[in-house]
Amino acid sequence: MSARGDPRPFAALTPDAVLDAAEAAGLEPDGHVFALNSYENRVYRLGRADAPPVVVKFYRAGRWSDQQILEEHQFAAELAAAEIPVVAPLRLGDATLYHGPGVRMAAFPLQPGGAPDLDQPEARELLGRTLGRIHAIGALRSFTHRPSLAGERLGARARAAVLASGQLPQHMRAGYARISAELLAHIDAADVAGWRPIRLHGDCHLGNILWQSAGPVFVDLDDCLNGPAVQDLWMFLAGNPDERRRQWSELLAGYERFASFDHSQLRLVEVLRAVRMLNHAAWIAERWADPAFPRAFPWFGEARFWEQHVNDLAEQASVLYGGS
């Protein structure tokens, strides 16, 4: 696999290359391979001879070290061993991470499931119960090799990346620089790293959940890290303040059956929203040379996107200012 910064990091990952890697890893593919929706890595459904299909994931070079990937795998396995509905990687020979010529690959059992509908009765409570179980395990120890939600991960690196990219229109540079600096001041004042960190899913949103008859199944721990518990909870709140209060009550009713929650962490919700806004735009900007990103986010290169983005950041700064 090509190094980080390569404009076509997965150019060599043809269907034949996927099948060859799967064969070498002992998965016995039957020749059927189907690309699944993924941007940061590359993910495929793989048919197998005389065995259930699996999902194979090829890691982007330079993003995580082997130790970090294996620690992700170990966390998923620890959760699965506690009968928590998390998709854990399969062993490929004597390890869960396979190294082939230019590739690093993992395989996961294919899980059925649909998109979550949290407006269904008791759905948020059930989701909260599952997250409480995950966090009860996550609180037992810290990651050693995975990152923490601290330092430049809280928006500073993202701001620098956007300003250094060629995506930000010239007429928006001053406005973006000013309002992003204001947001960073609010984020720094919140001292996110000062709250008790636990092992988290890290990128906990509806797109990383499959819903089955028994409830949620969590997938893709690729962004797992150390951080405050609220990081895995706040993205499930939407709507007006009354709706969010009701949703939070339902979520926490399930969560606190299995884990305690420091309610003072609620003051971090809008701070973490600002962090995500900054980091998401920077993520696309940094990956823009990868052909998958212009296809997935065609509007990103347009001036109107950046105008709206700066307006959204300004609104978020007002929310944070009002809450300070």
Give the distance from CA 200 to its chain's centroid. Answer: 10
pTM of the model: 0.94
Domain 15-109's class?
A: alpha beta
14-18, 219-223, 238-242: the lowest-pLDDT one = 238-242
CATH architecture, domain 123-323? Orthogonal Bundle (1.10)
pLDDT digits (tens, 9 = 90+) for 144-194: 999 999 999 999 999 999 999 999 999 999 999 999 999 999 999 999 999
Among 203, 222, 232, 290, the active-site one is: 203
Residue 220 appears among annotated catalytic residues: yes
Q: What is the mean pLDDT of residues 25-50?
A: 95
**What are the residue ranges spanned by the domains of the chain?**
15-109, 123-323
Q: What is the pLDDT of residue 28?
A: 96
- Give the containing element (helix H, strand E) for 100: strand 98-100
DSSP codes of every residue in 36-83? -S-SSSEEEEEEETTEEEEEEEEPPTTTS-HHHHHHHHHHHHHHHHTT
Among 220, 222, 232, 290, the one annotated catalytic: 220
| Residue 209 bridge partners (DSSP) | 218
* Residue 149: both structure tokens together: 């939600």
Other residues' Cβ atoms within 10 Å of the Cβ of residue 160: 13
Instruction: Say how many Å lie between the first and final Cα of the chain, rounded.
Output: 46
